[in-house]
Amino acid sequence: MDLMEILKALFGDEALTFEQFAEKVNNAADVKLGNLAGGQYIEKEKYDDVSNQLKTANANLEGYDPDWQTKLAQAQADGEKKLNDYKFEQSVESAINNAGAADLVSVKANLDMSKIAQGEDGKITGLDEQLAELKTNKPFLFKAADEPKKKLDLGGPTGGAKAKSGSNIKSAVEDFYKK
């Protein structure tokens, strides 16, 4: 509905005196007149309400760090790097233990970690070659695969190394520590 149709519905087709015009304007609930030249675009109450909301919001923002998004992104990147480093470290240690290391710390001390990397697929590269070389050059760092660990039988329900020379605990311990 355009302006002319609104005015025609409000005032009709006839000429009005000022008093008739004022009466029709005052009785029309959906019409409000204002002097736009004076800056009265919205009601003062609405303007004051929005102004107060803006002041409150600005007061709440005082003291906030304007670079918080940059700092957040940096903290997330640092956390992700630490997590990836931890996962890499755990993968390397797991592979060393699976290779039969007698002492994890000793084997790691003999590795060149700069030659070990983790690919995008999560696989560790460069470790198997170094472990194979260590097994050849320093076999004492690894457990002997062919020797099953003996169990000491002290007469309980579980199996273990039985005493050959007698049936007492002393002879079972002596047999256990003999090679």
| Residues facing 118 on adjacent strands | 124
* Mean pLDDT, all residues of the chain: 81
Rounded Cα distance, 61 and 56, in Å: 9
pLDDT at 87 over 50: yes
Residues 127 and 152 in one domain: no
Which of 118, 125, 127 is closest to 87 using CA atoms?
118
Rounded Cα distance, 131 and 104, in Å: 12
Residues 79 and 37 in one domain: no
Residues 94 and 137 in one domain: yes
List the domain range (segments joined by +) for residue 36: 3-61
Residues 136 and 152 in one domain: no
The number of folded domains in the chain is 3
Query: What pTM was estimated for this model as a whole?
Result: 0.47
Residue 163: its pLDDT value, please?
47
Residues 137 and 156 in one domain: no
pLDDT, average across residues 170-174: 74
Residues 94 and 136 in one domain: yes
Residue 179: its pLDDT value, please?
52
Residues 87 and 112 in one domain: yes
- Of the chain, the percentage scoring pLDDT greater than 90 comes to 29
Residues 85 and 136 in one domain: yes
The position carrying tokens 């070659």 is 129
Residues 95 and 153 in one domain: no
Residue 154: its pLDDT value, please?
59
Residues 15 and 57 in one domain: yes
Residues 77 and 57 in one domain: no
Residues 47 and 102 in one domain: no
pLDDT, average across residues 146-175: 61
